[in-house]
Amino acid sequence: MTTSTVGICIAGEGAMGETHAKVLAAMPGVRLTAAAVGDPVQGAAFAAKYGIPFHSTSLADCVARPDVDAVVLATPSGLHTEHALSVIGEGKPVLLEIPAALNLPDTLRLAAAQEASGVPLMVCHSRRFGAPHRLIRDRIRDGSFTLHHMVVETYFLRRTNLNMFGQPRTWVDSLLWHHACHSVDLAVWLLDEPDFVVQAQQGPDHPELGVPMDMSIVMRSPRTGVLFTMAMSFNNKGPFGGFYRYIGEEDTYRAWRDELRGSDDQIIALDAETAFDRQDRAFIDAVRNQSTPESDIHSVIPSMRLLDAIEQSIDRNQAR
C-alpha cells in the first residue's frame, strides 16, 4: 500500500459500481482514486459525483496508478474473469462482483491464479454479510434453530434490458449464474453443506434478450435432509429482490434485505450495519492485512460446482 489510506479504483459506473462507490466513499481510511469506465460521458459524471480524481476507459491505466492499492470490479458479468485475472496479475487485490464467472472452469482459473499470486481475491457473495442470515447461521450452529426447509423467491421485472436502477444495460443478466448464485451460496454457507442433490427447470427464453425469464431449483442435503426451494422470475410485477423464508423446528423466519421477522411478524433486532457496508469493510481489512477475506474465491467454489450441476439438470430436463 502507498499510504495508511487505501486507494481504490472502482471499475464500472453502473448500478453496482454506484453501490460500492457510495459505501467506500463514506468509509474512514479509504479514498476513491480512480474509476475505470465503459462510457466516457457517464464515467465522467460518475467520477465527478464521488470526487474521483482520475477516470479512464482503460482498466490497465487505472490499475497501474501508484495511488490505486486495490480494485473493485463491477463490470459486466461476462468480463469478470478476464478483468480479475488482469488485476491480480498486476499484484493488486480485487473485490469482484458476483458472479465470479459464468461457468465453473473460469471460476477454477481464478482460484488457481489467486493461489499462484497470493493476492486477495474476494467475491461479492453479499448474502453472507447480511445481518438476518448471519443470525440464522449462528442459531443453526449453536443448536437453537433446526432448519427443515429454506424457501427463496427472487423477483425482478427484466423484460427490457435495464439494471436495478432502471438504466439501460450493455449486457444481459443471468438468473442462474447471478441471482441463483446468491441463494445457492447462502444455503451452502449456512449449512456447511457442499454436496446438495439438485433438480432444476427453466421456462422459455425471452425472444429478444435470449435468456430464460423463469426458473425453479430444488436442492436436498443428503446429510441432513434439509430442503432448499427457489423460484426466480424476470417477469414479476411487484416488490423486487430476494425473499427468504427459513422454516424450522422452533420457528419460521422471514428475511428481506437487512430485515428479519419471526412467525409472529415481529421485527427481530439486528446489527444495524448493512450487508454492503460489512462486505466492503471486510475487503478493506483484507487489503490492509494482506489476509484471506471471508468470501474469497476458494470459498465460493462449492457453490459454483452446484450451479454447474444445476445447469446440467436444466439441460437434461430441457432435452425431454
Chain segment 102-137, per-residue pLDDT in tens: 999 999 999 999 999 999 999 999 999 999 999 999
Average pLDDT of the segment spanning 232-244: 92
Model pLDDT, residue 165? 66
Reported confidence tier of residue 164, pLDDT bands at 50, 70, 90: low
Name 260's Cβ contacts closer than 8 Å, sequence gap at least 6. 131, 132, 135, 136, 253, 254, 267, 268, 270
Say if residue 140's pLDDT is above 60.
Answer: yes
Name 264's Cβ contacts closer than 8 Å, sequence gap at least 6. none
Say if residue 150's pLDDT is above 90.
Answer: yes
Q: Which of 11-15, 45-49, 161-165 has the lowest mean pLDDT?
A: 161-165
Cell of 25: 466513499
Model pLDDT, residue 88? 97
Mean pLDDT of the chain: 95
Nearest to 150 by CA among 189, 96, 110, 93: 189
Model pLDDT, residue 52? 98
Q: How far apart are CA 258 and CA 132, in angstroms?
A: 6
Model pLDDT, residue 168? 76
Chain segment 275-301, per-residue pLDDT in tens: 999 999 999 999 999 999 999 999 999
Chain segment 200-217, per-residue pLDDT in tens: 999 999 999 999 999 999
Reported confidence tier of residue 239, pLDDT bands at 50, 70, 90: confident
Model pLDDT, residue 237? 92
